[in-house]
Amino acid sequence: MDEIKIENERMNTMNKIKFCIFLLCTFAACSHTHAAKPNVIVLLADDLGYADVGFQNYEASADVYTPNIDKLAQSGIIFKNGYVPVATCGPSRGSLLTGRNSARWGQEDNGNLPGNSGPPEREILVPRALPNDYVTAMFGKWHIGKRQGKLDLSPKGRGFDEEWAAAASYFSSPEWIASAYKNSPIPEEPYFDPAIGNLSADFIAQNKDKPFFLYAGFKAPHSPFETWESYLLRVVEARPQWKEVFERLKKRPDYQNKYSFEKITLETDKEILRLIYTAMILGMDDAVGHIVQTLEEHNLRENTLIFFLADNGGSLCGGPEHPNRPIDLGAINKPLRSGKGSIFDGGVRVPYVMSWPGVLPGNTVDEKTIVSSMDIFTTTVNLAGAQVPQDRIIDGVNLMPYLTGEKSGQPHSHLLFRRTDRDAYAIRAGDFKHTFDKRNKVNELYDIQNNIAEDEGLSKKHPEKFKYMKELYEKEAADFPDPIRFKTNEEMEAWLKENPLKPNPSGKGIE
């Protein structure tokens, strides 16, 4: 008990110190920016492995070359307990932009709407929750709806002022790439993610005197595996351990300057595939560098909060039962267990950075605070001077008071993850996580703070804690509808009437 008391006193003292520093930094930042409303930028990677950025500092992190992303991370806070609520692209993105777990509208995987995917029309995304003086843009991968008849779930249909949505290929068509370079020369080697960086830079320059929200949905490092030789050469130069693999790649009969892996089989060389994967990440890194440099050129960096994270864990597959994806797809999630689509931490724990010089501390690795992608919604809306919608439950929390010492403790009492179609669910509360996966015959309690590999079960050692966590999940999951895939718009409308929104509990998701 004495140790707990001492630790609590130490944490309270540290929080008071952090809050004083925050007040001083905020005063300085406001003086510098004339109390301008802050800008918020979300940089979202796609299927990025937990170890696959340099700042994570795992063994596999040495494979990748991410100088700009690492510099961004060093300027802010690296959260080692950063989560997404769903380990699949579409529902994860919908959750991020609404501040709500997608399971609240019955979505736990892609393809939930008729010929479409994403939050139903009644869900409010960031742009429509912001004050009217904010200008907003979405560039890159969207994956949460499209225009279909009278229903418009495209970025502009959801309230974004500007949009440039993703094409299927990293190389895209010349016309599509050209549309991203209206104010600058088209590069000789056009590539999807650098095009997002160019669009974002133009948007920042054009709106430098207005508050803005920018959502950049990068394609890397999701399949297909496509890159230019120049990116491979830069990776090999920075990471010489890849030299022998690169020489092997060049001997392939299908190798060329503009390289694509057309088919992945059980015989595919995994080292070559990972090398191409790292080159794709470097394209995203270039885009991040371009965006941050543009902010600095326009003296906006100290008035801009940047989030960098992934939509889910790296995509891992294996065996002949996966004919389209028979081997690991380049990513490394170790030391986490499993990957994309899973309720293990390899699916739902992601690299997560917040950077705001002069307001948030830099060179900080936060090993304790549990944050979620859903917090981006509430943090952004509150920073803009608005309140989150009160007619619905908002799962996201405004992180700023917790990061500045104004509030103590964890932002979240618990986080819930569910994949009903895979007979799997999990819930994390504090240091512990209860994981159930029928297919993999797992029904366990883990000290996830100290055993992130989820390989040391504690259910027998701590049966009361195990029972409590199971009951906590059952209690919280009871508030979620059963997952559903709508075949027609009429079916969806009927479901929405039968499942009305539940008002936001007092204080939940509010600063």
CATH code, 103: 3.40.720.10
Low pLDDT (below 70) residues in the chain: 1-35, 262, 266, 317-328, 506-511
Backbone angles phi, psi at 292, to 5 degrees: -65, -40
In a domain, 213, yes or no: yes
Q: Give the per-residue pLDDT at 1.
A: 38
- What is the C-alpha to C-alpha distance for residues 342 and 380, in angstroms, rounded to an integer? 28
What residue has token string 């007092």? 506
Question: Does one domain contain both 427 and 445?
Answer: yes
356 with 453, same domain: the answer is no
Which is nearest to 450 in space by CA: 349, 340, 338, 368? 368
The answer to the question of residue 236 being in a domain is yes
Residue 262: predicted pLDDT: 66
Q: Of 232, 224, 194, 196, give the one whose Cα is nearest residue 65.
A: 232
Same domain? 429 vs 288: no
The DSSP code sequence of 251-273 is TSTT--SEEE-----TTS-HHHH
Residues 403 and 441 in one domain: no
Alpha-carbon gap, residue 478 to 481, rounded angstroms? 8
Residue 426 lies in a domain: yes
Segment (H or E) for 213: strand 212-217
Q: Domain span at residue 159? A: 36-412
Kindly state whether residues 207 and 350 are assigned to the same domain: yes
Write the DSSP symbol of residue 51: T
Please report, for the domain that includes residue 464, its CATH number.
Answer: 3.30.1120.10
303 plus 437 within the same structural domain: no
Please tell me whether residues 271 and 156 are part of one structural domain: yes
| Domain shared by 471 and 355, yes or no | no
Does 462 fall in a domain? Answer: yes
Residue 267 shares a structural domain with residue 393? yes
Does residue 248 lie in a domain region? yes
Claim to verify: residue 237 and residue 327 sit in the same structural domain: yes
Separation of alpha carbons 442 and 461, rounded Å: 16
Domains of the chain: total: 2
Is 22 part of a structural domain of the chain? Answer: no
pLDDT of residue 338: 93
- Among 412, 441, 456, the domain-final residue is 412
The verdict on residue 124 lying in a domain is yes
Q: Quick one: pLDDT at residue 98?
A: 98
> In terms of domains, do 122 and 172 share one?
yes
At 329, is the secondary structure helix, strand, or coil?
A: coil
Q: 496 lies in a domain?
A: no
Whether residue 199 is found in the same domain as residue 108: yes
Q: Tell me how many helices (H) and strands (E) the chain has.
A: 14, 18
Cis peptide before 221 (omega within 30 of 0): yes
pTM: 0.92
Q: How far apart are CA 483 and CA 17, in angstroms?
A: 45
